[in-house]
Structure 1
Amino acid sequence: MACRAGRQRDRDRQGSMLLKKLNIAAALVDHGRKNRERKRAFLENGGLVLEKLVASCNGRPIPIRTFSYQQLVLATNNFDHRLILHVNLTYTMYKGSFEGRILSIKMYGLYADRGLSDKDLALMDMGISAKTTAHKNILKLVGCCLETSISSLVFEYAQNGVLFDRISISRRQGKPMLWRSRLKIARQIAHAIAYLHTAFSKPIIHRDIRPRNILLDQHDVPKLTDFSLSISIPEGETHVEDVVRGTVGFLCPSYYSTNRITEKTDVYSFGMVLLQLLIGQHPLESLRENEDQTLEVHLSNRAINEIVDPAILAEEGGAGLEQQLQAVRQLSLTCIEEDPEIRPMMVDVTKEFRRIERFIA
């Protein structure tokens, strides 16, 4: 009996060792397969990335750092959900640490709307970000990872998060943002958009300007981000046509009805952002009690203290503050005029901000 039990233990031990060997072999095969997939992705993405960067930058590729997939895994603690900064329909942004420096890692997810692919979105975002990254109010692209099936992007870290969370009455936590900070953010984002429209031979239209696409660094300096839906107007042309893409509530009505994109498309979206900075909520939410009125009529006919975020009205500012609020309301309403021809160019918007800021010395 003892001899038979010993033989059984030997067989069990051999079976256990065989199982371990099979598991190790399977793991090695899986690891080898994943390595092959990453090498293939690296080669495929490398060509696409180079092509996009050359096309975006007047024939000159802009050198950006490349990160390995393993570096992304280590930087995000294997993409720990607790390190998620924010989630969009098209991507997830993680907080990551590289060599003692905090950065943001943008991982694109599934997207199947109107024929767009994840690679289209990521490549456009990377190409425009690389081209415009020198502007202080555009989120700086640091590099990318080519080993993922869709190129992952690495950006500078914006410590103070998304503008939407800082100005939304419904999400407000802690001390409200001061009016002078809101005005500075609006002016600097206006400069960034004007830069997109005027600094290149082919004007860049962002096409999705909204508070969720404006990040704030540790000093509340705004950073425009997410160029995945951006489009350029051909040289010598005033517009380009494309299917409607963007965010409901910030979409230019004339673009929605004609598929025609101009610089005034971004002006309309900026006007809606400016109103949200003033009101503390999406402008259309303020229409709930007056649904029979247009937004322009609703905001024009009411006293300024009836529409402005109460937190702003609680500040000390006197007549100068009221003048600024009135002027910003008028500017924003001009930006969202139904007729694009009436809307100002973004360069003129930046000039108007300089005039408005003089109301309070």
Structure 2
Amino acid sequence: MASGVLAVLSGVAGICFGIRRRKLVRLREKFFEQNGGVLLKQKIQSQQCYKAMTLFNTEQLRKATNNYSQENVIGKGAYGVVYKGILSDKRVVAIKKSKLVDVTQAEQFINEVLILTQVIHRHVVKLLGCCLEEEVPVLVYEFISNNTLFHHIHHRLGGMNWLSWENRLRVATEAASALGYLHSETTMPIIHRDIKSSNILLDENYTTKISDFGASRLVPLDHEQVTTLIQGTLGYLDPEYFNSSQLTAKSDVYSFGVVLAELITGKKAIGVERTNEEKNLATYFVKSVKGNRLFEIVEPRLLRECTFEQLWAIGDLIKRCLSFAGDDRPTMKEVAMELEGLRKFTTHPWVQQQPYNDTRSLVHEVEQSDLYDVPLMYGANEWESYSGIIDMTLEEEDIPR
């Protein structure tokens, strides 16, 4: 009798499990189609150039992230949450789960994913694939292990000991070359639209990687601009784009100018604790350059590591990047070339005359030295800097031209 009851219960449980399983499969199929999966699959099968694109399933990514465990979270931003994951083949990846989904933009999303998959540049984070079986698309990127430029500029403990003038110029040049590539050397120009120091990552060799294309836009070859609702990060946002909704490649140039200002001043793009004049780094920097006060706002370390000519040159370059009118700004290609030229300048004679460690006394009275013996170590919580400073994001909706 008991065995009969158990058999019946087991049968009922099996039927319920089967029904639940079928519902789950149908739901994933619905999400897959809703997110443009059918279109993506067709394009992958019809075009050999998309072979590098991997379509991950839900089980693969849930297993890789321990079911999207909070312990695996390495970053949070306006567009989604980033998890560290380990795939079955032992590859370490960064898995970005979007917060919002717009089913009307599925085709555009798929086209952008396909194009980003083809972006091959040593200073751009590689998109490996995606999963479309979730309610929102999940993107899988290569994992970059050494935190963000924002962290290395602003978290002094263990983070400033390598940011010499030479390394700052190298990071800036690498980032500029990547943006120049996106603007002018891809199949269709890509405007990043959210350039900031927290979207510039550094790998184990401190090589620069541009990341987070959640706000990026493709620009048709016969257009120079795209009309959209405003989206970006306060402090980095191009004022011309803010006033006109006309997004151009020069909007990225403005944002990059703010990053350069961060790099040579050590100040955040928005400083709520600073005076009204200094609160916005971009405007404060331009005023300082125009008022011949550049040397008052750069990090003291740089005064002993580079020539006055180099500082004036980069100060003028940043000022031009931060011009209110986009037409007055250089292109990213021009920015990269100027930065590369600065890297070839000769070393400051002070540095040639005495060992570097002895020069700390030159600025000790002005500011505590930025040299530390603390090793570079980062925990998962420190990856919160992925989220940047202040995200000012409006719901995205492209406006027809």
How much does 1:139 deviate?
0.6
Tell me if structure 2 keeps the 8 A contact 1:206–1:229.
yes
In the other structure, the counterpart of 2:299 is 309
Tell me if structure 1 keeps the 8 A contact 2:98–2:138.
yes
How much does 1:343 deviate?
0.9
How much does 1:244 deviate?
1.6
Tell me if structure 1 keeps the 8 A contact 2:93–2:143.
yes
How much does 1:95 deviate?
0.9
Pairs within 5 Å for 1:270-281 = 270-281=256-267
In the other structure, the counterpart of 1:207 is 193
Structure 2 counterpart of 1:160, from 132, 146, 149: 146
Question: Once the two structures are aligned, what percentage of the paired residues are identical?
Answer: 31
How much does 1:136 deviate?
0.8
Name which structure has the greater RCO, CA cutoff 8 Å, separation 6+: 2
Change (3 A) 1:32 1:237: closer
Tell me if structure 2 keeps the 8 A contact 1:110–1:118.
no
Tell me if structure 2 keeps the 8 A contact 1:323–1:359.
no
In the other structure, the counterpart of 2:210 is 224
* Unmatched tracts of structure 2, length 5 or more: 348-401
Task: Describe the SS at the equivalent of 2:235.
Answer: coil
Structure 1 counterpart of 2:317, from 304, 316, 331: 331
Tell me if structure 2 keeps the 8 A contact 1:202–1:233.
yes
Change (3 A) 1:121 1:138: farther
Change (3 A) 1:200 1:245: same
How much does 1:291 deviate?
2.5
With the length of structure 2 as denominator, give the TM-score of the two structures. 0.74
CA distance in 1, matches of 2:109, 2:204: 26
In the other structure, the counterpart of 1:6 is none
How much does 1:120 deviate?
7.7
Show CA shifts across 1:142-185 (max 9, x none).
122232233321111100122222212xx333141413222211
Change (3 A) 1:96 1:283: closer
Corresponding letter in the other structure for 2:199: N
Which protein shows a greater Rg?
1
In the other structure, the counterpart of 1:178 is 163
CA distance in 1, matches of 2:147, 2:43: 29
1:236 aligns with 2:236: no
Task: Describe the SS at the equivalent of 1:289.
Answer: coil
How much does 1:254 deviate?
1.1
Q: CA RMSD in A?
A: 3.3
With the length of structure 1 as denominator, give the TM-score of the two structures. 0.81
In the other structure, the counterpart of 2:61 is 72
Corresponding letter in the other structure for 1:46: G
1:291 aligns with 2:277: yes
Change (3 A) 1:117 1:167: farther
In the other structure, the counterpart of 2:118 is 131
Pairs within 5 Å for 1:1-361 = 22-23=12-13, 25-44=15-34, 45-50=36-41, 61=50, 63-98=52-87, 99-110=89-100, 123=110, 126-132=113-119, 134-168=120-154, 171-176=155-160, 177-179=162-164, 180-200=166-186, 202-285=188-271, 288-291=274-277, 294-295=283-284, 296-301=286-291, 303-310=293-300, 312-313=301-302, 317=305, 320-361=306-347
Change (3 A) 1:69 1:202: closer
Change (3 A) 1:268 1:146: same
